[in-house]
Each structure stands twice: as C-alpha cells, then as structure tokens.
Amino acid sequence: MNRITRIGLPKLSESKCLAALAGVLLVFSGCGHSSVIDTKAGGHQIRAVIEGELSINSQPEGVTITSAFGTVTVERTRVQIGSGPWSMIPEAVPVELRMSKGKIALTAGSLTIRQTIN
C-alpha cells in the first residue's frame, strides 16, 4: 500500500487550512452567497439581504441599493423598485429588503411589495 507523505510541504496551521478551504468553497459556490446590510437612511432603519454582488449609494435623503437583480431606492416617504412607480411609505418605519435571482421583496410598515424578475 502506498502512503502519501508531506515531503517538502510546509506545515499549515488548522486555521490556515480552514481559511483556504473556505476560499475554495466560495469560488465554487459562485454568486449564491448573500450579504446582509443594516443601515440607516432617509430616517429609516434598513435591513437588506442581497444575493450576489451589490453596491450602495447612501445619501442624507435616502439610499439606492443595486445588485445584478435590480435597483431599489428608499427615501423618507417613498420607495422605488427599478424604474417603476414610486410607492408611498410611512416615515421612520423599518424597511426590510430581499433581492435574489428572480425576486425582489420590500416591506416598509404596512406596505409590502413583491416583484418577480425574469
């Protein structure tokens, strides 16, 4: 029976091995990861769970969150998904946003918007 040995390989710590393994798993998992963002903009506490890459443009009057699956703008009294119509929202209510392949869901107070994207 052949035995594999580590001749000439540096000894790696357990944490370095785990970090390397995690990096390899992220490479193979692709865009399936989600980011969780907690921020405050336009007087709202905003929690967003976004799949894939994203960008955030935060300004005093609101925030625009963009991913490969769409764009959402939240201001003090209104929200907009993509280039669609503005929807009115109450001031200072928490806003929850979820963006993933094919779906955008936003909840602000009693308002819930769900949009399917092809």
What CATH number is attached to the domain comprising 90?
Answer: 2.60.200
Q: Of residues 45 and 26, which shows the higher confidence score?
A: 45
Q: What is the dihedral of CA 82, 83, 88, 92, to 10 degrees?
A: 50
Number of domains in the chain: 1
Residues in Cβ contact with 34 at an 8 Å cutoff, skipping those fewer than 6 apart: 49, 50, 51, 52, 100
Residue 17 placed within a domain: no
Mean pLDDT throughout 103-117?
Answer: 94
Residue 59 placed within a domain: yes
Whole-number pLDDT of residue 71: 95
Whole-number pLDDT of residue 59: 87
What separation in angstroms does the CA of 69 have from each of 30, 32, 48, 59, 62?
15, 13, 13, 22, 20
Whether 4 shows a pLDDT value over 90: the answer reads no
